[in-house]
Amino acid sequence: MCGIVGAVAQRNIVSVLIEGLRRLEYRGYDSCGVAVLAGGEPKRARSVARVADLDEQVCETRLEGVTGIAHTRWATHGAPVTDNAHPIFSRNELAIVHNGIIENYETLREMLRGKGYEFISQTDTEVIAHLIHSLYHGDLFAAVREATGHLHGAYAIAVLHKSQPHTVVGARQGSPLVVGLGEGENFLASDALALAGSTDRFMFLEEGDVCELTLEKVRVFDRDGKPAERDVRQVAAYGGAVELGPYRHFMQKEIFEQPRAISDTIPQSDVFDASLFGEGAAKAFEEIDSLLVLACGTSYYSGLTAKYWLESIAKIPTQVEIASEYRYRDSVPNPKSLVVVISQSGETADTIAALKHAQSLGHTHTLAVCNVATSAMVRMTELSFLTHAGREIGVASTKAFTTQLVALFVLAATLGKLRGHISAKQEADYIRQLRHLPAALNSVLALEPQIIAWSEEFSRKENALFLGRGLHYPIALEGALKLKEISYIHAEAYPAGELKHGPLALVTEAMPVVTVAPNDALLEKLKSNIQEVRARGGQLYVFADADTKILNDEGLHVIRMPEHYGLLSPILHVVPLQLLAYHTACSRGTDVDKPRNLAKSVTVE
Ligand code: M6R
């Protein structure tokens, strides 16, 4: 989704800004731009193509400057055309880049029109540009602080004004923004990653903060308009660009990285201990009587899977909610419930808002299961467990999902142990099974050639049904999401027992029905569901554990999973579904890593 970079320096910073945008490309965008103060005037270049095209433009036009801002835009208000691309100008004196959505932009636009401001774009951002301009009386920092008082909604902004050639002002509310500190130069970005190579010292701005960057100084005012100190953190982990290596796409690379990612996420310790979740976890875990899990998309499905583990291993009631729904409904808060947010990025706007909502309702015990140590969610929660998937570039989440599952299984086992529901022998067995997972995953990945053969069939279809039962119903949901997200084939998932209550009407020869068939307590029930589909001429594609005795037959295509993995089986069964979606998308020639209309990090509501 949208990305911001800004810089104040004594050298030409255009290459720093462009490199920053390159590093943010993975988030997804549909236009980009850069503005600098050159010869006392703001000058800009914008593109509705890629950052590489923007780079060519700035080289051709020799755009140079010591103070500048840059942006990748994921369209919300107004189509992805050049006029709507950021930076947006106000009267050729002020330039702004913006992430987020301003909810009261229509009212503000009318007010500003009344003051004689002309609107060129369809963006809500232009409202902020003119608003700050209208409030500017020689002090950009003051004008931005005053303007933010009129804005409703979410934003991270970076602004420059031609009368202050060595100043960039930033503000955040609901969208992330970090300050990068240099020697005689300072930077701003929506993600520390954008500034790798320029600095490793960061200040993570808090909600409502407004900051002013000059060559030697950074000033921050908090939401109450008071000067504030923000900790400076050393973040050295941001290396160079991630390489694709022998893979065709990042998604394929990330699928094959799962044995490593899982191995890095499994705790080293031979016991499940509350301290894995941070200081104070033992006390917090003693005080809770239930869990409330909040997440979006794939992370929500990992929460749904975890519910089975938490209730069966730890015997603790668990409620899992889509974050964007929870935040707007009247729920009955239970302060003894542990609120668990699950997120790859830790910056998903809906999940952050749901967490804040839960906190405002009196939930004090909060835990983030997250892949980014410096993210907003990790900073906002009492406890955290970091997944070690490494950077995930493909918009379709894969290794983040399986590492979340590992983290959540560890949570279930830890709570189960604390509550006296698992024996020492059971604990040792779970640890052993976790440790064997990377090897088991490698055997699943070896199924790729068989899955490629199926994907050719799938690429000619327009619809697909996914079935699973129990623990594997969320895996069917995840398989359907993967397929629709990157191949654009309509796919739905059902708990297999629901088939006869409606979706069976869709089953014809043209409808592939993908079934996840582990050898668990529900196998015989699932076999009956398979027969219901076969009897109606449906084409079944079954991922069956080796010992299920489900055999290839007319209308029944089977790929054997190497081994049955008990409670941890969802972590293995999701992998062939990821590969099926991936290869189907490749056959259809879609942009696998950057599927249409989607962004990696969804930082707007
Ligand atoms: O960063 P998060 O895990 O909070 O993101 C949540 C969803 O936006 C994300 O999982 C999305 O559904 C993926 N594109 C699915 O592959």
Q: In what order do the strands lie in the sheet with 210-213?
A: 88-90, 94-102, 153-161, 168-173, 210-213, 218-221
- Write the residue with the smallest CA distance to atom 7 of ligand 1: 297
- The pLDDT of residue 468 is 95
> Which residues of the chain fall short of a pLDDT of 70?
236-242
Report the nearest atom of ligand 1 relative to the CA of 395: 14
What separation in angstroms does the CA of 560 have from each of 226, 541, 547? Answer: 63, 11, 9
Fold of 448-588: Rossmann fold (3.40.50)
| Residue of 175, 231, 167, 169 whose CA lies nearest to 203 | 231
Establish whether 253 is a catalytic residue. Answer: no
Catalytic residue among 2, 32, 211, 370: 2
Report the nearest atom of ligand 1 relative to the CA of 482: 16
DSSP reduced 3-state for 40: coil
- Write the residue with the smallest CA distance to atom 8 of ligand 1: 297
Report the nearest atom of ligand 1 relative to the CA of 400: 3
Q: Separation of 595 CA from ligand 1 center, angstroms?
A: 13
Q: Which of 249, 298, 343 to mutate to test the pocket of ligand 1 (most atoms within 8 A of CB)?
A: 298
Q: How far apart are CA 7 and CA 168, in angstroms?
A: 7
Where are the domains positioned within the chain? 3-242, 250-445, 448-588
- The pLDDT of residue 537 is 84
CATH number of 3-242, picked from 3.60.20.10, 2.60.40.1510, 3.40.50.1950, 3.30.70.1230: 3.60.20.10
Give me the phi and psi of 538, to 5 degrees please: -70, 150
Do 210 and 219 contact (CB within 8 A), yes or no? no
- Write the residue with the smallest CA distance to atom 14 of ligand 1: 396
Report the nearest atom of ligand 1 relative to the CA of 396: 16
- The pLDDT of residue 241 is 55
Q: Separation of 485 CA from ligand 1 center, angstroms?
A: 11
Q: Separation of 368 CA from ligand 1 center, angstroms?
A: 15
Q: Separation of 322 CA from ligand 1 center, angstroms?
A: 12
- The pLDDT of residue 236 is 67
User: 87: cis peptide before it, omega within 30°?
Assistant: yes
- Write the residue with the smallest CA distance to atom 4 of ligand 1: 343
Report the nearest atom of ligand 1 relative to the CA of 298: 10
Q: With both helix axes pointing from N to C terminus, report the angle between 569-588 and 448-458 in degrees, rounded to the nearest 10.
A: 50
Q: With both helix axes pointing from N to C terminus, report the angle between 105-114 and 125-135 in degrees, rounded to the nearest 10.
A: 50
Q: In what order do the strands lie in the sheet with 337-343?
A: 318-322, 290-295, 337-343, 366-370, 383-386
**Enclosing H/E stretch for 466:** strand 463-468
Q: How far apart are CA 560 and CA 538, in angstroms?
A: 20
pLDDT tens figures, 120-172: 999 999 999 999 999 999 999 999 999 999 999 889 999 999 999 999 999 99
**Residues paired with residue 539 on neighbouring β-strands, in sequence order:** 512
- Which residues does ligand 1 sit against, CB inside 6 Å? 296-299, 343-345, 348, 351, 395-397, 481, 485, 602
Report the nearest atom of ligand 1 relative to the CA of 485: 16
Domains 3-242 and 250-445 share a fold: no
pLDDT tens figures, 363-412: 999 999 999 988 889 999 999 999 999 989 999 999 999 999 999 999 99
Establish whether 425 is a catalytic residue. Answer: no
- Here the tokens at position 519 are 């050898």
Residues 6+ apart with CB under 8 A from 557: 454, 539, 540, 541, 542
- The pLDDT of residue 128 is 97
Q: What number of H helices and E strands is found in the chain?
A: 18, 24
Q: Separation of 43 CA from ligand 1 center, angstroms?
A: 36
3-state secondary structure 74-101: CCCCCCCCHHHCCCEEECCCEEEEEEEE
Q: How do beta strands 383-386 and 463-468 pair?
A: unpaired
Structure pTM? 0.80
| Residue of 91, 104, 85 whose CA lies nearest to 136 | 91
Q: Separation of 93 CA from ligand 1 center, angstroms?
A: 38
Q: What is the mean pLDDT of the chain?
A: 93
Catalytic residue among 253, 399, 594, 600: 600
- The pLDDT of residue 238 is 52
Q: Which of 175, 191, 251, 299 to mutate to test the pocket of ligand 1 (most atoms within 8 A of CB)?
A: 299
Report the nearest atom of ligand 1 relative to the CA of 295: 4
**Enclosing H/E stretch for 427:** helix 424-445
Q: How far apart are CA 194 and CA 205, in angstroms?
A: 16
Q: Separation of 1 CA from ligand 1 center, angstroms?
A: 12
Fold of 250-445: Rossmann fold (3.40.50)
Q: Which of 340, 578, 602 to mutate to test the pocket of ligand 1 (most atoms within 8 A of CB)?
A: 602
Q: Separation of 370 CA from ligand 1 center, angstroms?
A: 12
- Write the residue with the smallest CA distance to atom 11 of ligand 1: 297
- The pLDDT of residue 193 is 86
Q: Radius of gyration (Cα) for the chain, nearest Å?
A: 25
Phi-psi region of 213 (alpha: psi -120 to 50; beta: other; left: phi over 0): beta
- Write the residue with the smallest CA distance to atom 12 of ligand 1: 297
Q: How far apart are CA 323 and CA 477, in angstroms?
A: 17
Q: Separation of 344 CA from ligand 1 center, angstroms?
A: 7
